[in-house]
Structure 1
């Protein structure tokens, strides 16, 4: 492997948590960004789960690809496994990703395990907003996660209309004001 890339579609886009040498807009085919993971740790609890993003089958997803220096490959994988595989709801995959400049690369990413008990499936906007607005986990309030993701997607010029609708339907102000 000559290069090591990581594809981010949610909080990794704005909070990667690992060093990288290059950050490029990218598109992944065959998967879509979906608020389909019941969060028992980062944005909710088992008693009051939140919802976080996963890559679910079908469609395509615009996100960010990070190129990691060879000296940081193993520490990055270790970090991502600790962060993303805390409850084993995600499956680690190397996927073909198209960078905005036309390059095709293989990137490490995490896709939802549809057989896992935390897989929420397709949820209506109003139900997703209701779940998100009252959930809090060790990484903070669930509404802040959704609002941050929508804001960062917009900064990157990426529109996710369904996620934007969820953010708009949340009754509690994500900023806490």
Structure 2
């Protein structure tokens, strides 16, 4: 089922920047698909949630909401690869949480044990710019099943409904907030550790560098200014240039 022709009516420039959900890797992704790789990396057999646990979490989080339109907030890779069929996308600002580069990835997505990567998570305080995708009521059950297989594959996030501002008024969005008790969430990372991970992390889903660049490219398209991320990218580029020079013969 293709996206409706007017899905990008608020932001036509995003039409060519968001992957067709039907072709996304995550559309048909199943958690067990990566079990073998996790065993090779020495992860325990219970590295991920069971299907029953994940589905129970989804139904608890969405209790009383399955029969209405759902807004999903995207602040990282969901911005360019949501894997969700949506009817509308809007620029949105979540109130009360900000974007932090706190997901320290050694699991193999955009990092590995030998080259850890870093990605974004929502942390308390401040605000966070991103986009919100509206999932029509009739498809919420199916689309959130896909979303949970991706975002709630293991202990990392807490699904939460958060207030968000858009040009058309305030909405309530489903966001995935960093769980400070999770192994992958590192609120104690130094700036140097974040820069190094963003510069060198690489896994099956690509590099942490491309992840950071994609976020900034989408901010440019949406006319979002994020001095913090722009400063981080400048530091990461300097780190890559410096280390490249050190490795030259």
With the length of structure 1 as denominator, give the TM-score of the two structures.
0.89
Deviation for aligned residue 1:91: 0.8
Q: Give 2:134's match in structure 1, choosing from 52, 67, 71.
A: 67
1:117 aligned residue? 183
Q: Give 1:98's match in structure 2, choosing from 137, 161, 165.
A: 165
Deviation for aligned residue 1:172: 3.4
CA distance in 2, matches of 1:168, 1:86: 32
CA contact (8 A) 1:125 1:165 kept: no
The alignment status of 1:85 with 2:152, answered yes or no, reads: yes
1:16 aligned residue? 82
Residue aligned with 1:172, SS? helix
Deviation for aligned residue 1:57: 0.6
With the length of structure 2 as denominator, give the TM-score of the two structures.
0.64
CA distance in 1, matches of 2:74, 2:137: 19
CA distance in 2, matches of 1:93, 1:58: 15
Cα offsets for 1:143-177 (capped at 9, x unmatched): 1111111111121111222211221122338xxxx
The alignment status of 1:172 with 2:207, answered yes or no, reads: no
Structure 1 unaligned regions, length at least 5: none
Once the two structures are superposed, the pairs formed by residues 35-50 of structure 1 within 5 Å of their partners are 35-39=101-105, 40-50=107-117
Deviation for aligned residue 1:124: 4.5
2:56 aligned residue? none
Q: Give 2:215's match in structure 1, choosing from 142, 145, 149.
A: 149
2:19 aligned residue? none
Distance 1:5 1:92, change over 3 A: same
2:193 aligned residue? 127
CA distance in 2, matches of 1:17, 1:85: 15
CA distance in 2, matches of 1:108, 1:43: 24
Deviates more, 1:16-25 or 1:122-131: 122-131
2:41 aligned residue? none
Deviation for aligned residue 1:122: 5.3
CA distance in 1, matches of 2:114, 2:153: 17
Deviation for aligned residue 1:100: 2.0
Bigger share in helix = 2
CA distance in 2, matches of 1:3, 1:73: 7
CA contact (8 A) 2:69 2:140 kept: no
CA distance in 1, matches of 2:193, 2:113: 18
CA contact (8 A) 1:126 1:166 kept: no
Residue aligned with 2:113, SS? coil
